[in-house]
Amino acid sequence: MTKQETGPRTGPGPAPGHARPSVRRKSAYPYALYLPAGIVFLVIFLVPTVMAFYFALTRWTLFDSEFVGLQNFQDFLAEQNLRIGFQNTIVYAVVTSGLKVVLGLLLGVLLTSKLRLRGFLRSVVFFPTLVSTVAVGITFAMLLKPQTGLVNQALALVGVDGRDWLGDATTALLSVALVDVWKGVGLATVIYIAGIMSIPQEYYQAVAVDGGGAWHRFRHVTLPLSWPATYSVIILSFIGGLRSFDLIWTMTRGGPGFTSDTIASIIYKQYQAGFFGLSTAGNVILFLVVTAIAVPLNYYLGKRQVAA
């Protein structure tokens, strides 16, 4: 940022030479001003992170810790339900982020069109995002109850025999994922609305001149040009899906049995059992897994964004 000089500039070209050092002196804060933020960052983020990497290598009871090397990592990877947990985590992340992209885009298109109730509908779609995840989990656990839940009662009205959505191994994970989509699609929609609104009108006029219909407008203008929005939604919801915990925990606690366990819930159960070193090792692994998936994904999608 160059700062406006006092007095009128006489013409284009670089600002007079003496201005530069003064600009630098003004914009540079004394280092002391960084200190409070630095201390907060150090104490609350950096120290615990480094400590976590250390405690992952110990048998840690909160009272004392004993260095055991990579034993915890070995034990965590030998965890019998890790495979299910890993599968579920990926399935959950893919299903939720996929549905959020599709539904978010459709709702985004709908809510940027000339609807009469547009403002109202936008609030309705965004509302679930504002509610606490735990509250959503508890509410839906009630709604999905086999006999007394509203969902099955509604299904019964149209003659469909609903099932025990959360107590049945085949539907538990998917039910939670759908609730996650219900809750998260508002945010995706808002991102899409912003993305679609920023597409210049000229493109649509060009399609109109060429005689293209609604489908052409969507296929050749909206879809490719809202790629930045798609990119944000995929990254946000995919990482969110990989780390998802609160909704799964409040709705099924990883059950029935281990059928809806994710990596995060496996780690949490180990904290609960008092295996602090072991679960810290699990967190380190989760951190590495999320990084290993998110960084290449980010890179790949980023490259496409440039191309698009």
Partner 1 sequence: MTGAVLAVLAMAALSSCGSSSGAGSEPAADGSVTLKFLIDNSQATVDTAKALTEAFMKANPTITIETETRPGGSEGDNIIKTRLSTGDMSDVFWYNSGSLLQALNPAQTLVDLTGDPVLANVQKDFLPVVSQDGKAYGVPGGTAMGGGILYNRKVYEQLKLEVPKTWANFMANNEKIKAAGIAPVIGTFKDTWTSQLFVLGDYYNVQAAAPDFAQKYTANQAKFATTPAAKAGFDHLAEVHAKGFMQEGFGSATNDQGMKMLVEGKGAHYPMLSAQLPPLVSTLPQAATDVGFFGIPGTDAAKNGATIWEPAGIYIARTTENLDAAKKFLAFVASPAGAEATNAVVQPAGPYRIAGAKLPEDAIQVAKDLQVYVDEGRTAPALEFVSPVKGPSLEQITVAVGSGLTPPAEGAAQYDKDVEKQAKQLGLAGW
Q: Which residues bind partner 1 (CB under 8 A)?
A: 39, 42-43, 46-47, 59, 61-64, 66, 75, 79-81, 141, 144-147, 164-169, 253-259, 269-275, 277-278
Q: Which is nearer to partner 1, 167 or 240 (CB)?
A: 167
Question: Cα(213)–Cα(131) distance, rounded to whole angstroms?
Answer: 39
Q: Which is nearer to partner 1, 100 or 145 (CB)?
A: 145
Cα-based torsion angle of the residue sequence 249, 254, 260, 264 in order, rounded to the nearest 10 degrees: 70
Q: Which is nearer to partner 1, 65 or 129 (CB)?
A: 65
Q: 């059950």: which residue's tokens?
A: 255
What is the Cα 32 distance to its own chain's centre? 35
Question: Is the preceding peptide bond at 8 cis, omega within 30 degrees of 0?
Answer: no
Q: 């840690």: which residue's tokens?
A: 60
Q: Which is nearer to partner 1, 98 or 146 (CB)?
A: 146
Q: Which is nearer to partner 1, 10 or 272 (CB)?
A: 272
Give, for 66, the enclosing helix (H) or strand (E).
Answer: strand 65-67
262: left (phi over 0), alpha (psi -120 to 50) or beta: beta
Cβ at position 189, least distance to partner 1 in Å: 31
Q: Which is nearer to partner 1, 4 or 272 (CB)?
A: 272
Cβ at position 278, least distance to partner 1 in Å: 6
Q: Which is nearer to partner 1, 66 or 210 (CB)?
A: 66
Give, for 105, the enclosing helix (H) or strand (E).
Answer: helix 82-112
Decide if 107 contacts 192 (C-beta within 8 A): yes
Give the chain's end-to-end CA distance (angstroms, integer): 29
Question: Cα(132)–Cα(93) distance, rounded to whole angstroms?
Answer: 20
Decide if 234 contacts 301 (C-beta within 8 A): yes
Cα-Cα-Cα-Cα dihedral sign, residues 112, 113, 115, 121:
negative
Q: Give Cα separations from 268 to 3, 65, 282 (angstroms).
A: 52, 19, 9
Q: Which is nearer to partner 1, 231 or 249 (CB)?
A: 249
Question: Cα(245)–Cα(81) distance, rounded to whole angstroms?
Answer: 16
